[in-house]
Chains A and B, each alone.
Chain A
Amino acid sequence: MGAHTHDHGHHEESFISKYIFSHDHKMISKQFLITAIFMGIVAVMLSIFFRLQLGWPGEKFAILNAFLGDKWAPDGILDKNAYLAMVTIHGTIMVFFVLTGGLSGTFANLLIPLQIGARDMASGFMNMLSYWFFLVSSLIMLASLFVEGGAASGGWTIYPPLSALPQAMPGSGTGMTLWLISMVLFVASSLLGGLNYIVTIINLRTKGMKMTRLPLTVWALLVTAILGVLSFPVLVSAVVLLIMDRTMGTAFYLSDIFIQGEALDVTGGSPILFQHLFWFLGHPEVYIVLLPALGISSEVIATNSRKPIFGYKAMIGSILAIGFLSFIVWGHHMYVTGMNPFIGSVFVFTTLLIAIPSAVKAFNYITTLWQGNIKFTPAMMFSVGLVSTFVTGGLTGIILADSALDVNVHDTYFVVAHFHIVMGMSAIFGMLAGVYHWFPKMYGRMLNSKLGYAHFWLTMVCGFGVFFPMHFVGIAGAPRRYYDYSEFDYLDHVMDLNPMISTFAIIGGAAQLLFIFNFFHSIWYGQKATQNPWKSNTLEWTTPVQHVHGNWPGALPEVHRWAYDYSNPEHEEDFVPQIVPLKQGEHAH
């Protein structure tokens, strides 16, 4: 299927065509990863800045003044508007730039061609454009931190009218304009990438690579790409209408507004319309972030347990079910907007249904560990950690999905705890597992595993240390996005958790330095990798360690079996690569 016949290895490449405007999926994948790591560093730093304020409100921190200057942190105390800008840009960068662009961009690019046996993506040029749109959009988002009035500050969900009216807050001026432009470019990047991933998976699978033999990573990336292609355009339309409200005097989202002494000439719009459009992307987005992480973990857990992933077909079914359901649950973000309660009921029903495929996935992971022969590589540590965060964070979703309960915990720290554990930690763990697992494939060298273990345990402990106590802060009625809680006596008894949370955040943030050091050190000085270091079955480990254009120097490999023949009793070795033909009398799975 789709085997390119012409030879890719011949023409000499210049520095620019190899490292900068590369069409090669492996290089583009590295470009995405390094950009995402950089964006991740920025987002973590922002979170530490606002955690300093939350942990020790009113205290002076010279470091804040050093980074943010006299305007945003006079005397080392974070300014109120700057606080909201930090919160907003932290969320935006993490959700879109690290966990969507970074995660999908890196692993879809690296793994799709390598695991399906293709020479490259269907369109290398579109793939390159996808990265460049991503980079430009990242740079614009970063630039928005430096404009007069500060970056967008209305929360990463940018609800109008707050985001539509520059009078409403300083961050709704130029900062918001840049946010919107950046997001339009980001969506362009995401669509170019997503279409490419879908077409590649459907058309370019090598001989014998049936859909039912695809590794679960590829399945997860396929469904992720489909979700993105169907939902991101809706975000663009929401954003374009918002841009028109801001610049052309339209009133799609605005009605009967009096602000800063002026009755605006707007009637008939609905701020709630924006929320419907936003969350029509926003909820699938959660799974765009999560599914690749789950796909990566399926692969890592099976390989390192030396066992087939349990319930391969159920895993595919649950990915598809989650993907489908993710489109009909967006209203659960809007139970208290005044939306018709009956529509709320429908969203309660569809949302709680997601618990079923999620439970199937969690139990299948655990059953894969059962009676396994587990090697705790750093990637495996992060994957097991992911199962824990996925379960722990997913369970509180049951409360938030229940509209009657959401009334009292909506927009409190309970929500912050929930999505940071189930989406933030899980997706980051999946991404880090992927980096530890496929680093040898990307750079031909090994990461240092000792640093990897230290990195994992510090991240695990600090991650839960930050986010688990937030459940209790939230359930006591503490709203999110507050600059200071001292005005409210009824919260005093949970506020002693805040210094502890902030301390964990700082240590956890600092622990990422171990990873960053390990990453860049190992690119040049890591131990040289062997071809198949983890004794894995999938096709990427049949390519040479040194990257070649077209991935396989000779003919494309032919696939004879599924990706999970680990510890097959009919074979001596505890793994059987997909390219190994079936023995006489052996039946395929």
Chain B
Amino acid sequence: MNLFILLVVVLAIIAIAQLTKVYDLSRTLRNSREEEVSAADNRVNANAWIVWMFVFFGSVIYLYAKYGDYLPESASEHGVAMDKLMSLNIWLITIVFFIVNYLLFTFANKYRFNPNRKAKFFAHDNRLEMLWTLVPGVTMAFIIVYGLITWNNITGPASADAMKIELYSKQFDWTARYPGENKVFGAVDYNLIGTTNALGMVTKEGVAQKLAELDHNIESTEKAIADGVAKGTMPDSYMESLEEQLYKLKRHKQRILDLKENELNGQSQWLAGADDKIVKGEFHIPVGQEVEFVFRSQDVIHSAYMPHFRAQMNTVPGVPTRFKMKPTITTAEMRKKLGNDKFDYVLLCNKVCGAAHFNMKMTVVVDTPEDFNAWLAEQKTFSGEGAKKEEAAPAPASDTTMVAQTKI
């Protein structure tokens, strides 16, 4: 196969070389100059512009016809306004596209060289230039104003009764968190992330456990260093890496001690997370209810993209971001509309984040409010309980007395 391709390439080059040689010879015989564009060349190319124009326009129209209904109708309220703005813009630019390209190609065709004619000496015309400054200016003013009105509606503050959902990204999956009955997300800290605590939820046990784990690691590292010193034969690089490891562990421990201090001063939603619900694989939202997503990221920048809702926001480590929307079509309704009973809304990653970037997705299910409540009730809380009433939810963040009572 490789040999074959190589052969084709080599033969093609030889063919071009031979053809060029023949051409060079004939040119010398005809005594023609390369820069003198022959009447035949000029005619062929001038006509080719028109042929090209038909091919180009034809293909564009075909693409519009076949692929123009790019996404199903928007499943969110703001998406409908966005689609309207989009189709207006597309109409506008498509018309300008055809007009300007038409003028370009037909002028190129029409004003081809003719030795008996001299070009029109036409250096400038203030009225014409004013025309194509003002017309785009006015059009842009309209697009800007219309666009910004839509933008302000999309990005304005969420209403007070909006339901908050956190979407948490890491290489290479998504996690959703619901704040539970107290409507307050529990505090999180990246220093507490571990195999049993994927989001780094701050809890009494979590902190104690992480500290114990770190103490254990510090101890064993110190021991390894002591052993190494005693032996005296370990390579320097090995000893250095142990020292570095120890330093990192101690820093990590210090950050958790600082965190504990801050939490004890009542500066965040200490313990509000016991009733938080964490789900993976798919998350549900109720139709007709405004949802405000809060995005966080564990490692690198990802982007939460939900094309069917015309929604997108980057998730940035260390910097929470937000996006609000109101879903309007349930998954079941959309399946019916599309005649596809396998259809699902998706959340996907749209900021390159590593090898499995292309595969980082979560299913979004839009339910009726009843189905949604039923689904949510089935999900376990972070403290491990089902959503039963008996475990009273801990006090909200502002309740410092509760926090002060908590011993860790």
Contact = CB atoms under 8 A, between A and B. Distances in A.
Interface string B93-131: 100110011011101100111100111111111001100
Contact of A398 (B89, B108, B355): B89
B155 to A, nearest CB: 4
B267 interface: no
8 nearest CB pairs, A to B: A255-B318, A477-B307, A338-B321, A341-B155, A533-B35, A446-B34, A371-B120, A472-B67
Contact of B200 (A258, A312, A450, A471): A258
B171 interface: yes
A399 B34 contact: no
B326 to A, nearest CB: 15
16 contacts: A80-B356, A161-B301, A168-B353, A336-B303, A336-B312, A338-B316, A370-B120, A375-B37, A377-B35, A392-B101, A410-B303, A446-B34, A460-B52, A477-B71, A477-B305, A494-B70
Interface of B: 1-2, 5, 9, 12-13, 16-17, 20, 23-24, 27, 33-35, 37, 41-42, 44-46, 48-49, 52, 55-56, 59-60, 63, 67-68, 70-72, 79, 82, 85-86, 89-90, 92-93, 96-97, 100-101, 103-105, 107-108, 111-114, 117-125, 128-129, 132-133, 135-137, 140, 143-144, 147-148, 150-152, 154-155, 170-171, 190-191, 193, 200, 248, 251-252, 255, 295, 298-301, 303, 305, 307-308, 310-314, 316-322, 342-343, 346, 348-359, 361
Which of A154, A348, A353, A372 has the most B CB atoms < 10 Å from its CB?
A: A372
Interface of B (DSSP majority class): helix
Given A168-B171, A270-B319, A567-B121, A490 B346 contact: yes
A305 B119 contact: yes
Contact of A405 (B35, B82, B92, B248): B82
A162 B23 contact: no
Given A395-B97, A453-B41, A476-B70, 8 more contacts: A255-B319, A337-B321, A360-B132, A376-B113, A472-B68, A476-B67, A490-B71, A569-B118
A373 B117 contact: yes
Given A162-B300, A391-B101, A360 B23 contact: no
Interface in A44-101: 62-63, 66, 80-81, 84
Given A352-B144, A399-B89, A373 B119 contact: yes
A307 B1 CA distance: 53
Given A381-B45, A391-B104, A564-B123, A525 B24 contact: yes
A488 B119 contact: no
Interface in A392-425: 392, 395-396, 398-399, 402-405, 407-408, 410-412
Given A353-B140, A387-B104, A513-B12, A373 B151 contact: no
Given A258-B190, A360-B129, A457-B48, A408 B35 contact: no
B377 to A, nearest CB: 30
A464 interface: yes
Interface of A: 62-63, 66, 80-81, 84, 154-155, 159-162, 165, 168-169, 254-259, 262-263, 265, 267-272, 305-308, 310-314, 336-338, 341, 344-345, 348-349, 352-353, 355-356, 359-360, 362-367, 369-377, 381, 384, 387-388, 391-392, 395-396, 398-399, 402-405, 407-408, 410-412, 440, 446-451, 453, 457, 460-461, 464, 468-469, 471-472, 475-477, 479, 481-485, 487-490, 493-494, 497, 513-514, 517-518, 521, 525-527, 529-530, 533-534, 564, 566-569, 574, 589
